[in-house]
Amino acid sequence: MSDEIPQITRIAAYGLVRNDKQILLCRLSKQLPRFAGMWTLPGGGLNFGEPPADGMVREVFEETGLHVEPSEIACIDSITGDLPDRAYHSIRILYHTQLLGGTLTYEQDGTTDLCRWFTREETRSLGLVDLVQVALPLAFT
């Protein structure tokens, strides 16, 4: 039996959802104790075989109640790291989106528990995950 820890690759897709001069962010819930209370983009991991743009649309709706469509890829971000039980490689695809409609709601019993619109200035006082730091210059160009 090997003493090596597992190496896990996760591919996820996120939406840069804008409304005039604001960006939509979601607060991470207690289900993710390491990041609980921090703000992230709506989105998440892809299901096996799911096209990334479809996964982004699904995740944005699940977390926010809003319908979006992707317009173009904003960037592809790749990070690696080590946790006590595994090494990880996260590939994160960020999409510019067009907001189609829906009613802003919060995910129930999920990895996020609140969604809100923020101006770029307002984001400066928030606890942000690194993904949002990558996204802000892309969202507010």
What are the pLDDT digits (tens) for 22-45? Answer: 999 999 999 988 889 999 999 999
pLDDT category of residue 1 using cuts at 50, 70 and 90: very low
Supply the pLDDT for residue 2. Answer: 53
Domain 7-139 in CATH: superfamily? Nucleoside Triphosphate Pyrophosphohydrolase (3.90.79.10)
Q: H-type helices in the chain, by residue range?
A: 52-64, 120-123, 130-139
Sort 69 into a burial class: Cβ within 10 Å, 0-12 / 13-18 / 19+: middle
Dmax (CA) of the chain: 56
* Residue 16 confidence (pLDDT) above 50: yes
pLDDT at 141 over 50: yes
CA–CA distance, 52 with 73 (Å, rounded to integer): 10
Count of other CB atoms within 10 angstroms of residue 35: 16
- Residue 34 token pair: 């390491």
**What's the confidence (pLDDT) of residue 116?**
97
Instruction: State the CB neighbour count (10 A cutoff) for residue 99.
Output: 15
- Pairing mode, strands 22-28 and 39-40: antiparallel
- Tokens describing residue 124: 């400066």
pLDDT score for 77: 96
Q: What span, in angstroms and rounded, lies between the C-alpha atoms of 141 and 42?
A: 19
Determine the pLDDT at residue 33: 85
Q: Is the pLDDT of residue 3 over 70?
A: no
Q: Looking at residue 122, what is its pLDDT? A: 97
Contact present, 36 and 110 (Cβ < 8 Å): no
Tens of pLDDT, residues 51-88? 999 999 999 999 999 999 999 999 999 999 998 889 99
Q: Which pLDDT does position 83 carry in this prediction?
A: 85
